[in-house]
Amino acid sequence: MRCVGAVIQRDGALLLIRRGRPPGEGLWSIPGGRVEPGESDDDAVVREVAEETGLVVAVGRLLGSVVIGPYDVHDYAATVIAGEPRAGDDAADVRWARPEELPDLPLTDGLLDALRLWRVIEG
């Protein structure tokens, strides 16, 4: 199943959502979800970010892809163009996290490694 994620940074911090439903319920991750039939990856990123955070974003380059069980996830850089973050849809919470905070947060499996591999964060 094709999915997308949005890596959104501001002032050195990364936007995270706490998943309100499976998979990953209760864990912090980047906003994202399933690509609907006939939808482009860019359109899916914009829709998922709006649903989960209330933000309007511009989609940038593909940072990388991961396979998590049945999910083929393509993560894109994205830039906020309007709005203030608020939890919505299946997000239980939303926050900005500095890179040094990430190792201490309960993150979805593989997120920290992917962010390091794609040079979103150092370490």
| Predicted confidence (pLDDT) per residue in 42-79, tens digit | 999 999 999 999 999 999 999 999 998 899 999 999 99
Q: Are the C-beta atoms of 23 and 16 separated by less than 8 Å?
A: no
- Dihedral over Cα of 37, 73, 58, 63: its sign: negative
pTM of the model: 0.94
Residues 83-101: tens digit of each pLDDT: 999 999 889 999 999 999 9
Q: Are the C-beta atoms of 15 and 30 separated by less than 8 Å?
A: yes
Cis omega (within 30 of 0) on the bond before 23? yes
The answer as to CATH 3.40.640.10 being correct for domain 2-117 is: no
For the chain, what are the domain ranges? 2-117
- Between CA 70 and CA 36 the distance in angstroms is 15
